[in-house]
Structure 1
């Protein structure tokens, strides 16, 4: 049987442990592709259909195949459904389920954790690629902190602001500000972003980004909630 049979499988064959760029290419292919989801019980399209499940290092995954050829090669003898990865990712990640590709293959296949499924749903350019290294900012620039604090307070919508220095798996380091806003109205979010943007012009060699402090999935927000206090 032909392998690779599609763009996802072409990207999959390049993935190696600690190979962050090939893995990012795989995520991009998945965002445009489809997978063959295994049904542990029920018929395709029926309300009682239930995806297969597996656990790896304490994390939960739903197994899937990357083509009909791989499905046949696995000799799976129950039902299955074909879904766009974006669609299935939207279903899985809120309950912290990842996607495990081709578990029948030599080496056991490749797991896509729920945080990466979330990135596929939101847009790979919208959320930082993990794993991320997070720590306290080492930025001795009183003028910048003074302007940032004044801008956030002056926006009238920021109730708390925490900070972290973040090194993502790909790309340069970032100064991340975790904010808690008065509400989640789009106009409120825009006011916060405009305030951040005015202060960002004072930074050199470091990107300034923000995250909702109460985001239940974001690992940087979790670290800030547990390790830091608001600087406002």
Structure 2
């Protein structure tokens, strides 16, 4: 990646410009950042990034070039890493990344949920902030068929649902899977279950699955807090859950 691509993308970010913010995330994947070390030297066991608290959320500060490092006035050590590397280190601890906090306007913060996307694949995870709700599209046949196949799939404990509207891209139906067993054989049985039911979904309506056990997935987090299962092995055959509202707290704004 050409030097300065992160800085170039950063310069285009402004409130409401989710397309520009998404380009910044793409630039971060292979682009370099200069991480500010509060303790230790690069590669040493006691190396520790600096930290910032923004509205109760933790961020590690960095700069985007040697020029910005000099402008920041930072006199302790630093290390140069790719955005993907630091994203993989930070997001599991729910730490975000703050770029050029010394710059006019205070720089740009990337929340941990977006670092998870940088680390895991921007094309694999939806672009936030997300709007989530109970689905309103009538798909009784699909839910009934899916519940029948789930009843015959021992690995499945419960199923939930959510309507996901990403900041960029098409909305889609997410099915939350709570499993007893995550072995390869169990996962294959769940994939078969989904294939057997998805044929009755209306044309053009995307369907995705979400592991309810993923403590970092914002869709799973919303479903856990706001959506009752429409299939529960212990309550199989119960009435559908009532419609819920937009109860999910929005992701921290990336600006």
Report the equivalent of 1:215. 214
Matched, 1:142 2:140: yes
Matched, 1:228 2:204: no
Runs of 4+ in 1 over 6 A off after TM superposition: none
Q: CA deviation at 1:100?
A: 0.3
Aligned-partner Cα distance in 1 for 2:144–2:19 = 37
Residue of structure 1 aligned with 2:154, choices 153, 156, 163: 156
- Kept in 1: contact 2:139–2:201 (CA 8 A): no
Q: CA deviation at 1:48?
A: 1.3
Residue of structure 1 aligned with 2:67, choices 69, 75, 86: 69
Q: CA deviation at 1:176?
A: 0.7
Report the equivalent of 2:53. 55
Residue of structure 2 aligned with 1:192, choices 190, 193, 198: 190
- Kept in 1: contact 2:132–2:222 (CA 8 A): yes
The farther-off stretch of 70-79 and 185-194 is: 185-194
Q: CA deviation at 1:44?
A: 2.4
Q: CA deviation at 1:146?
A: 1.8
TM-score by length of 1: 0.92
Report the equivalent of 1:119. 117
Residue of structure 1 aligned with 2:15, choices 17, 23, 26: 17
Q: CA deviation at 1:5?
A: 5.0
Aligned-partner Cα distance in 1 for 2:3–2:226 = 46
Distance 1:186 1:127, change over 3 A: farther
Number of aligned pairs? 229
Q: CA deviation at 1:179?
A: 0.7
Relative contact order higher in (CA < 8 Å, ≥ 6 apart): 2
Q: Which runs of 5+ in 1 are unaligned?
A: none
Q: Which runs of 5+ in 2 are unaligned?
A: 232-255
TM-score by length of 2: 0.85
Aligned-partner Cα distance in 2 for 1:31–1:5 = 13
Aligned-partner Cα distance in 2 for 1:156–1:176 = 21
Report the equivalent of 1:183. 181
Q: CA RMSD in A?
A: 1.6
